[in-house]
Structure 1
């Protein structure tokens, strides 16, 4: 190896070398997020199956020359524009938050170390590593200070792997302990991280129970559309004996309302608005279904440090327990803090209190890891010094360990400073331990922790505090926050290994200390095995595996890059109190989509039923030789109904507050409520139409009156379904319903709109029949919803008390 190459490996590349590699394309030019481009968003919202169906029907109406009846074509524009605007807003919010929350590797260039964006790393860059750092490109280890890398996210191997100089570092893995540096050997799409990061930070709509349920419903509707459409087409074109223009208008009027044109749109809009709202609270949603998933959570596993307590700590006391003078103890602590290039919260507190450390040269270093619970530095003749958990380094029954436990019971964090009889890098370290001092650290409980825990308790969401700290200390913090079970915290070293036995313990206990990373993962698995939906919060590298296995992983913005990479939600403001807003947003999305799904599917059901009954009766006229029965409505009628009993109200309701915890069985509940409502509306509308229909010889005026009669009946019951779906009522919902009613009254009262929409309610007898059929429909719909909702517990999600 030449001397030049040696300098490059220790000091990093020069600015000229970096610039040349960028010109050559040897740069990690992988997109930071797998978000869709603007053009992809536009295409996805314009070229949809529903827009295609409506587009074909629009062309058919335009062919007839009835341009007024082509108003439903505005749905194509509205669906596309609203979807594009909302998704672009969500994309802009996510992209901005992603930059704020981005983990930047520390790169050596021109002899200095500085953070750079991941997409500016070039080939041969020297990248420094510390605990929790994610390896962003493939490389070769060139420095190793007890470096341990966890490759479980790539290989499934749970144990961290010791890395020596010359070993391979795989992108997508992360540092679990120690420090070091590696040289980038593969960048960009050549590195494994190109695929991993794309999947880890994708803004996606997949794996959502809500969207999967809607897809199932759409498949059912598709199968219903085929026979209903064929019957309608045959009846209108061959049985009704209308002119081809009138027949096509009736056919389009029958087919358009069968398509739930706004259902998918409302779902996407509700999710996108949720992303924007959470973005304002500095919450980065890395996977869209996480909003929905957190709303379904019934167990939250929370770490203590950084979640219930502040990240920072302060050195409260150095209590000598041996024969070493206190000045010497503080000198040792200062030296150990200065020797740690990537201090954790405890070491950082010591370094802040003792900034003037002696320039001792370490002969060996043992970095802290969550598994062994201690770190150490050997200073040759100055001794081998250890810093770690008293109940791990000492016999738990010793007097010093009991003193440490008493201090921990006051909510303090206590470390033991001790001497070892062998180098800290020895295979059997720490060996014989001689206590020197108890290092007492004060940790501050977050002021918003108690109200957050109280919120989850009110929402019947169980909290499990899972920490690597001493169980007594964890219990003291939990007790101070009023968490049940905090006064008898469980030491995880006594937990059973079997999943079933572990689940039994978790069913009854809430607070756990001395939990190893593998135990955190096992605890999440045990809870999920009992049918719980589990959210895991954390900020340290020891939380990565549990975050990955939980239904929803929530990372703090100040946490390690590895935790932020695997989490679905990142709280950039580091506030545990932000979680209730995430939960509330998810509940709003799920509950409101369930509401509006009832509206859209009710319309589809009554449209299919009405098309079937009119079509079959019309076709039967050819066999039994009675008057044919054309479809009663024009396309302009179904557009009017869609906009003011479903479209606009559904859009407003989809954005309303909703606090009820999400439940499974979305499809079953929606269908069991929408199908009876749709059947009732279709039936009473058909009956009213039969009363008003005057046969094939009816004049155009009589045909308009028959269609008006059917339309009045449909509107009365449809508005009532809207009123039921909107419950519980408050002022703005009452105003929404009243607005719909007022709009229709104006349409029927004003001569211009009556003429424009071809309405004629002047026949008092027929209008009375319409109102009577509508009243019967209201009674039947109310009875169906009472029985299925109140008696069977299938009402749409709605809060018991709702803020206006």
Structure 2
């Protein structure tokens, strides 16, 4: 059954089961307490983070940890302590991963509390804001424009209440709700006000059930994580037969003593496992969450950090993003000889009639006093799809009147002279509303045909001081910015032009856009600013851009942005935005600062670029380890390394450097095809390292003989492998900075220290014998480094990223 069908069935079922008594005052404190005792609470966990138990389980109970754990126990029993060091390294790394993710959890949870939806419930006759988890069965929950329905219920009060259920059913048209109608969690209010009685809470609510089945909330696709999973899957498949062949080779063919055979087999298997790759990816994401948390940025889905770094189009809603939420009435232009005092009384009455005014109406309320003498007899709430609101009054002296307040170009015919004045004001970046007198039913779409213009209300929008710099940042990063707004196109274009957005002066009225997706996509590629965009059009525009292969981020704060935010690759909501926008967005800017977006992009680029570097190091080791095992089996010789040797090499050329590289600043542009980008470097590097190391090993085997020959051969092979791996690190660390050069030099110095200090020589069983073979090993490593440089440049030219 499809999600839409299931949702519709659930709505019908809720309507059939609805038996919720209406109590205007809501529950009493005693009734709430009894329901809490019975567990009738909305105990759905936050989706911002996983539990401590899940964090520990996810970091400890992994496939590779299990393999390494078994090998570690074996080595602790049969081999010297030095050959068990790899196990202690894994324990330390896993501990670091748990600690970092726990820190990220604390950051996320604290921010989630700040940004959490706090619905208003009526208790003991008074409205009270409670956390979502504080709602109990039978609560009377109030609703207004932009509010999210957080639990299932039955409508108890409705005043022109319109609910959008598209996130559940896929149907974008709002549904008019009346007392007795069911409402489902996951829907949101687009117009009107009302209240509903909670009939299902917690995991019994419809959206919670779907969330548990991963059908309600779509997770952001993470190319990093899926790519790493793909790599690990293939590594596992290749590792098993290779490890088995190596074990047979060491135990059967050579007939060496059991303890040495076990040690050398384990020494060959352990480096095949890129055990630290998943760990450092998790650490990089966790550190990113912590850093962004300090900037009051709530990342509701961790891969969203990565996703925003890949974005090449940012769709911006003007109000609340480029402009601040507030507005000011700057002028009142009277039309057709209207009386100014009377018009002000009308505007005051309109403001007084709306219990949940939007930003424009709030400015009117501030400018004109309340009109308590007039009584509202009918109201039509504002809707972005309509472009206007309506109110009918009884004026107290036996007179009645009906009014519309909305967009002049929606309420008036194209040849009306009032539009000329409106256009001039819009070109100055001002927002203009038309007050028009009408007759007839307010909810009749044909009522606008008889609208008589009375006055123009001129509103000035406050530009965000940081918006210009943020737009300039995106332009510098080759990220296209598209402003899509429900306001007049000329006005939106003037605002965007003030902020320096190129092409803003050629604003497009979205009513002229083609409905067919390809044609719309072409128009979007050419245009920059679009006005009079309906909520459904915003969603269609996101889809049209995505059809051209673009990665789209959508920012917004209003209920008209919800559908587009949900469909965009990355949805970004302002903290002051509606409950619905915050619920569907992957990133919430709690401080309402548009200027935080560059920090999010930079953090994503740091994660992607650094993990690509780190993955190349880890997979180079995996490739050369597997190739060495294959060469050893084919040549019927003993495996050259003990676990302690490869623990030393891995620590100095991968483990320590990878930790610093994974967390370092990185402004490189995010590139797609993670697996291809990593493997195009790791394969040739691993091949060269394996060939050079095995060549040195065979050369040393011909030169050395007698007792201690194998130790001398191992030391020579270790020298070559270290030098080649160090050169791979030197390539990966580019472009150089002082600290990266210092990092590479420090790793080289640490290896020289091991070779120079007798105690460390004994501990790691490394002692270079004579000068001929060590210099030959060095020469082979130098030749391999030259070959690596050639291969690197060839790959850059011939194999696309």
Structure 1 length-normalised TM: 0.94
> Could you tell me which residue of structure 1 aligns to residue 365 of structure 2?
351
Q: Deviations over 1:11-52 (max 9, x none)?
A: 212222222222222222222336321112112211111111
Pairing partner for 1:721 from 715, 719, 728: 728
Judged with a 3 Å threshold, the aligned counterparts in structure 2 of structure 1 residues 310 and 197 are, in CA distance, closer, same or farther, namely farther
- Distance in 2 between the 1:369 and 1:260 partners? 55
Structure 1 CA distance for aligned equivalents of residues 217 and 292 of structure 2: 14
Greater CA drift, 13-22 or 212-221: 13-22
Instruction: Give the distance between the partners of 1:431 and 1:506, measured in 2 at CA.
Output: 31
- Give the structure 1 partner of residue 11 of structure 2: none
3-state DSSP of counterpart to 2:493: helix
Note if 1:36 corresponds to 2:47: no
2:47–2:300 Cα contact (<8 Å) kept: no
Instruction: Identify the match of residue 732 of structure 1 among 725, 733, 739.
Output: 739
Residue 325 in structure 1 maps to residue 333 in structure 2:
no
State the Cα deviation string for residues 370-394 of structure 1 (Å, max 9, x = none).
0111011100324112110011111
Change in CA separation of 1:640 and 1:205 when aligned onto 2, cut-off 3 Å: farther
1:454 is matched with 472
Aligned position for 2:16: none
Instruction: Determine if the alignment matches structure 1 residue 154 to structure 2 residue 168.
Output: yes
Question: 2:9: which partner in 1?
Answer: none
Residue 782 (structure 2) aligned to one of 775, 788, 802: 775
Q: Of 556, 563, 568, which residue of structure 1 is paired with 2:574? A: 556
Match of 2:351 in 1: 337
Distance 1:204 1:465, change over 3 A: closer
Root mean square deviation of aligned Cα: 1.9
Distance across 2 between alignment mates of 1:247 and 1:67 = 16
Determine if contact 1:374/1:389 at 8 Å carries over to the other structure: yes
Change (3 A) 1:398 1:33: same
For these two proteins, the number of residue pairs brought into alignment is 779
Instruction: State the Cα distance separating 1:415 from its structure 2 match.
Output: 0.4
| CA distance in 2: counterparts of 1:789 and 1:650, whole angstroms | 22
Task: Summarize the alignment of residues 287-306 of structure 1 with structure 2, pairs less than 5 Å apart.
Answer: 287-306=301-320
Establish whether residue 397 from structure 1 lines up as the match of residue 415 from structure 2: yes
- Note the 1:273-672 alignment, pairs <5 A: 273-380=287-394, 381-426=399-444, 428-618=446-636, 629-672=637-680
List alignment gaps of at least 5 residues for structure 1: 619-628, 795-804
The answer for the alignment partner of 2:718 in structure 1 is 711
Aligned-pair distance for 1:790? 4.5
Q: 2:369 and 2:741 mapped to 1: Cα distance?
A: 65
Residue 685 of structure 2 corresponds to: 677
Give per-residue Cα distances to partners, 1:669-705, cap 9 Å, x unaligned.
211110100000000100101111159x943422211
| Alignment-derived partner of residue 86 in structure 2 | 72
Does structure 1 residue 230 correspond to structure 2 residue 230?
Answer: no
Residue aligning to 1:626:
none
Q: Tell me if 1:117 matches 2:125.
A: no
| Distance in 2 (alpha carbons) for counterparts of 1:432 and 1:110 | 46
Q: Deviations over 1:212-271 (max 9, x none)?
A: 111111122112212221221011111223211111111111111111111111111111
Which 10-residue stretch deviates more, 46-55 or 783-792?
783-792
TM-superposed CA distance for 1:428, in Å, is 4.2
Task: State the alpha-carbon separation in 2 of the partners of residues 418 and 265 from structure 1.
Answer: 63
Evaluate the alpha carbon distance shift between residue 617 and residue 297 of structure 1 in structure 2; reply closer, same or farther with a 3 A threshold: same
CA distance 1:609–1:94, shift in 2 (3 Å): same
1:193–1:305 CA distance, 2 compared to 1 (3 A): same
Equivalent residues in 2 for 1:86-235, closer than 5 Å? 86-195=100-209, 207-235=221-249
What residue number does 2:701 align with?
Answer: 693
Whole-Å separation in 2 of the counterparts to 1:538 and 1:586: 20
CA contact (8 A) 1:709 1:767 kept: yes
Give the conservation status (yes or no) of the 8 Å contact 2:159–2:194: yes
Q: Distance in 1 between matches of 2:686 and 2:251?
A: 26
Measured after TM superposition, the shift of residue 322 of structure 1 is 3.0
Shift of 1:88: 0.6
752, 759, 764: which is aligned to 1:757? 764
User: 1:202 Cα deviation (Å)?
Assistant: 11
Q: 2:631 is paired with a residue of what secondary structure?
A: helix
User: How has the CA–CA distance of structure 1 residues 206 and 510 changed in structure 2, closer, same or farther, with 3 Å as cutoff?
Assistant: closer
Q: Deviations over 1:115-163 (max 9, x none)?
A: 1111111122111111111111111111111111011111111110111
Shift of 1:722: 0.2
Q: Tell me: CA distance 1:250–1:197, structure 2 relative to 1, closer, same or farther (3 Å).
A: closer
Equivalent-residue separation in structure 2 for 1:540 and 1:610 (angstroms): 60
* TM-score, structure 2 as length reference: 0.95
Please give the secondary structure, in 2, of the residue aligned with 1:262: helix
Distance apart, 1:181 and its partner CA: 1.1
Deviation (angstroms), 1:314: 0.9
Task: Give me the whole-angstrom Cα distance separating, in 2, the residues matched to 1:131 and 1:616.
Answer: 73
1:185 Cα deviation from its structure 2 partner: 1.5
Question: How far 1:319 moved relative to its partner?
Answer: 1.6
1:416-444 CA distances to partner (integer Å, 9 max, x unpaired)?
11111124245643451111111011101
> How far is 1:324 from its partner?
2.9
Is the contact made by 1:204 and 1:289 (CA closer than 8 Å) also made in structure 2?
no
What secondary structure sits across from 1:631 in the alignment?
coil
Displacement, 1:208? 1.2
Quote the Cα distance in structure 2 between the aligned partners of 1:599 and 1:205: 29
* Secondary structure, aligned partner of 1:384: strand
CA contact (8 A) 1:34 1:198 kept: no
Equivalent-residue separation in structure 2 for 1:13 and 1:235 (angstroms): 76
CA distance in 2, matches of 1:661, 1:325: 60
**Cα distance between partner residues in 1 of 2:202 and 2:234:** 44
Secondary structure of the residue that 2:382 maps to in structure 1?
A: coil
CA displacement at 1:633 relative to structure 2: 1.1
Give the secondary structure class of the aligned counterpart of 2:447: coil
Q: Please report how far the alpha carbon of residue 353 of structure 1 lies from its aligned counterpart in structure 2 after TM superposition.
A: 2.2
> Secondary structure, in 3 states, of the residue corresponding to 2:375?
coil
2:753 matches 1:746: yes
In the alignment, is the contact (CA less than 8 A) between 2:680 and 2:799 conserved in 1? no
Q: Counterparts of 2:786 and 2:526 in 1: how far apart (Å)?
A: 48
User: SS of the residue aligned with 2:647?
Assistant: helix
Q: Secondary structure at the match of 1:460?
A: coil
Do the aligned partners of 1:331 and 1:358 also contact (CA within 8 Å) in 2?
no
- 1:55 is aligned to 69
Query: Counterparts of 1:570 and 1:206 in 2: how far apart (Å)?
Result: 15
Partners in 2 of 1:557 and 1:256 — Cα distance? 47
Alpha-carbon distance in 2 for matches of 1:572, 1:206: 20
Over 3 Å counting, the alpha-carbon distance change for 1:198 and 1:660 in structure 2 is farther
Once residues 533 and 206 of structure 1 are traced to their aligned partners in structure 2, the CA distance between those partners, rounded to angstroms, is 12
